[in-house]
Structure 1
Amino acid sequence: MVRTTIACARCRRYKVKCMHTGTPPCRGCARAGAEACNNCVLSLPALTKKKRHRPVGVPDPTTDTSRPQHQTLDSPLADVISTTYERNNHLPAYNQLEDCLIESGLVLRAGNVFNEKFPEIPFLHMSSFRKSVRSLIEDEKQGPETQAAHSRRKFGRATALYAALIAVTLPIIDPDMKRAEYATLAKQIVSADDAADIYQVQALIVLAIYEWGDGKPYRAWIYSGMAIRLVQLIGLVFCGKPQPPALPLASIDTHWPSLDTDFAFGTSGVKSYPGLSLDESPIFIVEDIEGYFALLVQGIDIWSDILKWVVSGGRRHPDVVISKEMPWLTRSNWRTNYQRLQLWRQKHGSRIRFPDVGVDGHVSLRGGNAEAFAYINLIYHVSILFLCREYVPFLPTSSSRPSGPIDPPLLEVPAPSGWWEERADELFSASSNITALLSELKREGAPLLTPFAGFCAFSAATMNIYVAYFPQMNLGRSRGRETDFELDLAYLDEFQARWPMGAGWWATIERIRDLYQRASADRSRYVGKTRADFQHLETSVHDCTGASPGDNDESAMLGHHGHSAQVHRRSDDPQAAISLQQATQTRSLNDTSLQASQVIPDWNELWSLWGDTQLAAFGVEGSSYEYSFDLQDGITPVYQ
């Protein structure tokens, strides 16, 4: 039923309620004067068909001038059924790329690699996937006409997913092959396809990972958002009650397989509630890696909260400064995140804790066990690294010892005895463990070169080079680990050859090494320097998108020496500390996005791995965000 209202054209134009007695003029026109009264005509609104807006530059593939766009009640039932079937199975316009790009053998290999190297999104049902692709391979061997069929007819609705899988796994399979063509094909099919199904959701998720690794976080954000909305549209997230679909994760009864065997054989797993906090749910220790998925999801949830807290200001966040939080207090943000992380770690059995157990045993099991083992431990160690790094001086002296922050906001109460020494040990042990884990995987013939693993290696490198130049920051306990940084460089060198995002991390590491080298050789040149003098460099250290630091830090380093001393003199003033925090977070979430994060359901937030340090809610520092850009042509968003 369409709601209609009798109103005049003037009230409709101004979008106000037309008050009248059923005859003109209405009250608004009467107050406007004689001319408005003479032109006041009461009428029903004109009913027009709603036009569906398509992406810029993408033609409507279902447009057919030979028949009406919508079936009428007078149309025969057979015609309606036929048209519906044609629309649901419509093949987009033939693309010459499809003939030469997607080969069944390459699809099979890409699926196997994806299932092993990306354990955080194990949505491929491998037995069904292999069976369907192998049947196509057999058909291709029997007849050349099947092989000649272009990809959309051969793979059906899974074509976009398969093209995206090839694009995201080629850096691992064969870095020399051009993956952009596969990604372009997947984007074209996704943009031209009106149907909403699970294949579309999966293709969008894979494209988001591809864009992240390609150094384009904005496009990754767009594709992940599209996947989330499509999940809502097709009802994959459903609470079972007549309520809006945008509910917090804790309000949704989610039933997922508890083991890989449950998923592989289609059996029912144990019903679990991922929204429950760890202190509300019983501690169930997972001894075997087969039960990794529930652990992995919980770990990613904790890690995303830690990363979001750090990049939104961390200890320099206005709320933390005003409340004068001490990280060792129970109710502090730092302590809350740390306790959640340790409760999660208690669920890890002895077989899945690194470095308590080596990688070789999991590699021998094959089937992605080593990668799942690596992801669980990488999440834990990188979370420890980010938490403990937050209170470490950015530029210490060669004789500095663990003692907490030396730049504002300073802590007003001394820490408990030995607290800073314990945090330093955890910090540098975590960075060393990340390096050792990735190195062992490579040595065992199962290298992990994915975007998340690359970010962990980059984060570890920042701390390994830190303790190499300032060994007393760990009380000399890192001696003998001097090769860790060289191993990190070797990993990042190989990583940047496969993923464009690695180039920015490489540039950041070079800048950090140059800074620490000069600071350790001539400390007098850096007296009074704090984080405020290296804003861009510090931001790039926390950046997970591969953005390289700017050149402004160098001029700040050589320039105004009195700035830091002035900041120290004002360190007792909370407003001064807030001003410093705002200055050092020029590329972080603005106040609007921070407020919005409190009302948006947890599962509906931006994934912080895709650029929380760069993305605001709708723009940056009050600018408007222009969404009319083509995601397929490599054009970045425009700020106005």
Structure 2
Amino acid sequence: MVRTTIACAWCRRSKIKCIHQGEPPCRNCLRNGRTSQGDCILSGPNIHAIRRKRYRTPTLSHKPTTVDTTHEEGDIGADNTTCASNAVSAIDPDGRVINTLRNTSRTDVLQAASKFHQTFPELSFLHLATFDVDSQETSSLLLKAAMMALCSTHQDETARYVKTALSGLFLEPPKLVTIQTLLLLAMYEWGDGRGYDAWMTTGVAIRMMQSLETMRGPTRPSELEQEIYNRTFWSCFIMDRLVLCGKGQPFTLPLDQMRIHLPIGDQDFAFGQSSNPRIYIGNIHGDMYNTIEYSYSILVRGFDIWARILKWIINGGRRQPGMTLLANCPWTPGSPWKDLYDELDDWRQHQHQRMKYPGVQIAGHVSLGHGEQFAFINLVYYISILFLSREYIPFLPKPESIPVGPVDPPLLESAAPEGWWVERADQLFNSSAQITNLLQELDDLNTSLLTPFSGFCAFSAAIMNAYVSSFPRMNYGKCIHFSTKLLEVNIQWLSRFKEIWKMGNGWFKTTLHARNLYIKASRDHQRFQGKTRADFEALEASIHDSSGVSPIHEDDTRMAEVESHEREIDTSHAAEAALGLQQLSHSHNIPEQSLQPLEDMYFPHEISIFNQWNQVWPLWGEQQFGPLASGGFNLDYNIDIPGL
């Protein structure tokens, strides 16, 4: 059940909570027999007043004079604040949320701003020295509200308030602060498991940014204003790649068409004045631009490479037409895989030696206050290597298999150079180990990086640690016990992560499910003889998915009952992890019939839901709206899941 400010007229008149699932009838109307059409109509308070304000027809032009796009009296933007204020009061009629925001102490606001600045290096536009903590303007309040929602726990109501209030500004002239708020909201929605909403919200921010670019007036902004503007633009660029929906459409902001300089150094930004020449894509010279001082510039370039790797893979990867030809084999110069790998390697090689983990430990960077930036740069590199190397290994190898390239169609038409597959295996499993160790070291240093992107990295590492734990010969038998320990760390980390971000629930379930599949396949190969990726398309899609939504058409009421049951038995995530870890540490030494599946322990009432993994499901959470294809795949691995 969902409690929101959206309610039916009967519940509002009766001054009782209207409990519903997003569509009529609500629970109260259903209970009292008001189920005929028109009896229960859900709406927001004063919705007509909001619409009249929102859809008024603009008649005069606007004349922006600064980066923030102010307007002359009498034009379309003259009553922008008034219009927004009316919308805000309409969605918060009792003033509870807005009063809470206005009464939030300076200390709490600054702490949220500092946490956001430190924890989300991919959105590095906030200038703390000039951040207006005391502003009571609607746009500033919404930015602070989004920041509080993103950097605090249990802030769903504040996030809903921001989302609804922003909808009243979509047809107003763009402002930089509104774009920044949209980016924060998109990050929040991504972490909350609403990948589609995050993608759409990011799109609105980008369109506003592009519109703002065309509307900039003749007044020259200060150097600091220009850099805040630039960093907001690059934040749009990164979010465009982080919430990639997985379809074949081009990026909204293609890098090769950017005519805006890359971010200046972090210290220069902090003090509001650049001490070095500005740099542009394709014109990066000198090692100074590849140090931690230029971490945001490095991230911009790294995220672009990572997004193109992910896009190539989810659009078919090695199974795309023509990929089996010698000219497109991954070791052939000029092939899609090799071009991506070479670009990634070039990006990495140009970084200063102090930027490269594990050669340089993260403790030194943490002590200097930029541990998160250092971590992000290395996470981008290792997740990119992991995805590239994973594309050509068998989805479900035989227990005795060693790395020899694809074993299921389409097969490559040429043999790889000697040692090539050995190198790929070494890079693949080394990457999953480094991601795990890096996040663990941050935890040990009390600098935990529990954010959506780091969560996706941890999840991807967990899948490969589970894989090599069951098929150790895919890494030539190296460090099997070490891989199991790494998986234990991943399970613990994801268990904590899912308590903060809803997107972690899907990754957690997928990790447990994949791990059970690998164990079963490694012990009972005859049962899985002949099975290929084609037999596990739903599971493979979930492994590649960055939205975190489990590949299950979940019923909200059923899930609420499961969550209620979990609360009743007071099973903490730490205790859950301990149970799973105990099983993991002994999984290779106990009889198969005594091995209880992790799904039973973590989700004892969701077996029926887990059996729905045979549905075809797309990326970014579309499955929330129902299956988009008829039929399904017979996933033999989970038919008798209660007994494993």
Q: TM-score, normalised by structure 1?
A: 0.67
Match of 2:517 in 1: 515
Match of 2:463 in 1: 462
In the alignment, is the contact (CA less than 8 A) between 2:185 and 2:201 conserved in 1?
A: yes
* Structure 1 residue identity aligned to 2:545: D
Is 1:108 aligned to 2:102, yes or no?
Answer: no
Match of 2:424 in 1: 423
Name the CA shift for 1:408/1:269 in 2 (closer, same or farther; >3 Å). farther
* 1:215 aligned counterpart, secondary structure: coil
Name the CA shift for 1:250/1:534 in 2 (closer, same or farther; >3 Å). closer
CA distance in 2, matches of 1:188, 1:333: 43
> Where do residues 598-637 of structure 1 align in structure 2 (5 Å cutoff)?
611=619
* Structure 2 residue identity aligned to 1:98: I
Is 1:181 aligned to 2:152, yes or no?
Answer: no
What whole-Å deviation, never above 9, does each CA across 1:250-274 have from its counterpart, x for those lacking one? 3443124421111112213545555
CA distance in 1, matches of 2:399, 2:440: 29
CA distance in 1, matches of 2:362, 2:516: 34
Name the CA shift for 1:274/1:387 in 2 (closer, same or farther; >3 Å). farther
CA distance in 1, matches of 2:301, 2:419: 30
Match of 1:332 in 2: 335
Is 1:267 aligned to 2:273, yes or no?
Answer: yes
Structure 2 unaligned segments of length 5 or more: list them.
Answer: 1-43, 62-71, 219-251, 554-613, 631-644
1:188 to partner: Cα distance: 2.4
> Where do residues 408-487 of structure 1 align in structure 2 (5 Å cutoff)?
408-481=409-482, 482-487=484-489
1:154 to partner: Cα distance: 2.1
Is 1:120 aligned to 2:85, yes or no?
Answer: no
Match of 1:228 in 2: 206
In the alignment, is the contact (CA less than 8 A) between 1:274 and 1:298 conserved in 2?
A: no
The one of 309, 320, 330 equivalent to 1:306 is: 309
In the alignment, is the contact (CA less than 8 A) between 1:467 and 1:478 conserved in 2?
A: no
* Structure 1 residue identity aligned to 2:273: T
Match of 1:92 in 2: 86
In the alignment, is the contact (CA less than 8 A) between 1:311 and 1:613 conserved in 2?
A: no
Name the CA shift for 1:281/1:199 in 2 (closer, same or farther; >3 Å). closer
Match of 1:157 in 2: 139
> Where do residues 483-498 of structure 1 align in structure 2 (5 Å cutoff)?
483-498=485-500
* Structure 1 residue identity aligned to 2:118: E
> Where do residues 10-25 of structure 1 align in structure 2 (5 Å cutoff)?
none
CA distance in 2, matches of 1:338, 1:529: 29
1:478 to partner: Cα distance: 3.0
What whole-Å deviation, never above 9, does each CA across 1:216-238 have from its counterpart, x for those lacking one? 11111110000010001111799
> Where do residues 561-580 of structure 1 align in structure 2 (5 Å cutoff)?
none
In the alignment, is the contact (CA less than 8 A) between 1:258 and 1:291 conserved in 2?
A: yes
Is 1:192 aligned to 2:168, yes or no?
Answer: yes
Match of 1:504 in 2: 506
1:128 to partner: Cα distance: 0.8
* Structure 2 residue identity aligned to 1:315: R
CA distance in 2, matches of 1:500, 1:311: 23
Match of 2:638 in 1: none
* Structure 2 residue identity aligned to 1:262: D
Tell me whether 100-109 or 411-420 shows the greater mean CA deviation. 100-109
What whole-Å deviation, never above 9, does each CA across 1:508-554 have from its counterpart, x for those lacking one? 11111111111111111111111111111111010111122359xxx
In the alignment, is the contact (CA less than 8 A) between 1:257 and 1:269 conserved in 2?
A: no
In the alignment, is the contact (CA less than 8 A) between 1:316 and 1:409 conserved in 2?
A: yes
* Structure 2 residue identity aligned to 1:100: T
In the alignment, is the contact (CA less than 8 A) between 1:306 and 1:387 conserved in 2?
A: yes
Match of 1:209 in 2: 187
1:587 to partner: Cα distance: 4.9
CA distance in 1, matches of 2:541, 2:292: 35
CA distance in 2, matches of 1:511, 1:154: 49
In the alignment, is the contact (CA less than 8 A) between 1:469 and 1:517 conserved in 2?
A: yes
* Structure 2 residue identity aligned to 1:521: R
Match of 1:315 in 2: 318
CA distance in 1, matches of 2:117, 2:177: 16
* 1:89 aligned counterpart, secondary structure: helix
* 2:287 aligned counterpart, secondary structure: coil
1:446 to partner: Cα distance: 0.1
1:157 to partner: Cα distance: 2.2
1:347 to partner: Cα distance: 1.6
CA distance in 2, matches of 1:266, 1:211: 31
CA distance in 2, matches of 1:113, 1:550: 34
What whole-Å deviation, never above 9, does each CA across 1:81-101 have from its counterpart, x for those lacking one? 478786143122533121124
What whole-Å deviation, never above 9, does each CA across 1:162-188 have from its counterpart, x for those lacking one? 111111111xxxx3xx31111112112
1:59 to partner: Cα distance: 4.8
CA distance in 2, matches of 1:318, 1:434: 32
In the alignment, is the contact (CA less than 8 A) between 1:287 and 1:351 conserved in 2?
A: no
Name the CA shift for 1:199/1:443 in 2 (closer, same or farther; >3 Å). same
What whole-Å deviation, never above 9, does each CA across 1:332-379 have from its counterpart, x for those lacking one? 11100000000000121111110101111111112xx00000000000
In the alignment, is the contact (CA less than 8 A) between 2:262 and 2:279 conserved in 1?
A: no
The one of 508, 522, 531 equivalent to 2:533 is: 531
Name the CA shift for 1:121/1:333 in 2 (closer, same or farther; >3 Å). same
Larger radius of gyration: 1
CA distance in 2, matches of 1:297, 1:303: 10
Aligned length: 466
Name the CA shift for 1:542/1:251 in 2 (closer, same or farther; >3 Å). closer
In the alignment, is the contact (CA less than 8 A) between 1:435 and 1:457 conserved in 2?
A: yes
What whole-Å deviation, never above 9, does each CA across 1:114-165 have from its counterpart, x for those lacking one? 1001001111011111xx32xx3xxxxxxxxxxxxxxxx7244211111111
Name the CA shift for 1:517/1:157 in 2 (closer, same or farther; >3 Å). same
1:444 to partner: Cα distance: 0.3
